């Protein structure tokens, strides 16, 4: 009887871990991806659905290369090709006063019409400070810990069962 109930407890425990792990990973990746301007749902799906934490590891590797940009006016995360901030409406790109086409901040002359451009302009988007990568590494540590615990349990159950029968 004691063996059955402890076995059941272990099963419930493992079930909780199996549910809890993807939820923890999903929340961490979703928040992190959103802060970086990466596709949050896509990366959450990759991190949760690709087995053995491979999706999570792929995300951790790729996220370091993704430089976030923010609106110079309100600080909202923006994509490099945005012309206007979707949040506050501030212009994020310079346009040529002569032809109205977009020009880069460091151009001396308009590439479209050849008009001279005013100098000393600063980019209207700023690099977003990288969000701390600590929370995600903590989650990864917990996940690895849980996986090791699960392995220990799988090895432990036959031993416990054997010990239980031996006691009887």
User: Least separation, in Å, of the C-beta of 33 and Zn ion?
Assistant: 20
Minimum separation from the CB atom of position 68 to Zn ion (A): 14
CB of 96 to Zn ion, least distance (A): 3
**Min separation Cβ 77 and Zn ion, Å:** 10
Strand ranges (E), 40-112: 69-71, 77-78, 94-95, 102-103
Query: Between 18 and 99, whose beta carbon lies closer to Zn ion?
Result: 99
User: Which residue is associated with the tokens 């999706």?
Assistant: 55
For residue 36, CA distances in Å to 10, 30, 67 come to 39, 10, 7
Q: Which residues bind Zn ion (CB under 5 A)?
A: 71, 73-74, 76, 85, 87-88, 90, 96, 98-99, 110, 112-113, 115
Report the alpha-carbon distance of residue 77 to residue 126 in Å, rounded.
Answer: 10
Cβ proximity to Zn ion: between 6 and 76 the closer is 76
Contact 82, 91 (CB under 8 A): no
Nearer to Zn ion, 51 or 118 (CB): 118
Tell me whether residue 63 or residue 70 sits nearer to Zn ion (CB atom): 70
CA dist 12 and 153 (Å) reads 12
């Amino acid at each position: 009887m004691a063996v059955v109930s402890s076995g059941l407890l272990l099963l419930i425990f493992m079930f909780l871990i199996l549910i809890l792990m993807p939820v923890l990973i999903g929340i961490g990746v979703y928040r992190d991806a959103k802060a970086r301007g990466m596709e949050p749902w896509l990366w959450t799906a990759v991190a949760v659905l690709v087995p053995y934490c491979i999706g999570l590891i792929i995300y951790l590797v790729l996220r370091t290369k993704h430089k976030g940009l923010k609106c110079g006016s309100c600080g909202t995360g923006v994509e490099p090709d945005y012309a206007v901030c979707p949040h506050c409406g501030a212009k994020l790109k310079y346009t040529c006063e002569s032809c109205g086409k977009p020009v880069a901040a460091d151009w001396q002359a308009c590439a479209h019409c050849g008009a001279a451009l005013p100098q000393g302009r600063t980019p209207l988007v700023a690099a977003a400070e990288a969000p701390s990568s600590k929370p995600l590494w903590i989650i990864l540590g917990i996940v690895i810990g849980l996986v090791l615990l699960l392995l220990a349990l799988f090895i432990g159950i036959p031993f416990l069962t054997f010990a239980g029968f031996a006691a009887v």
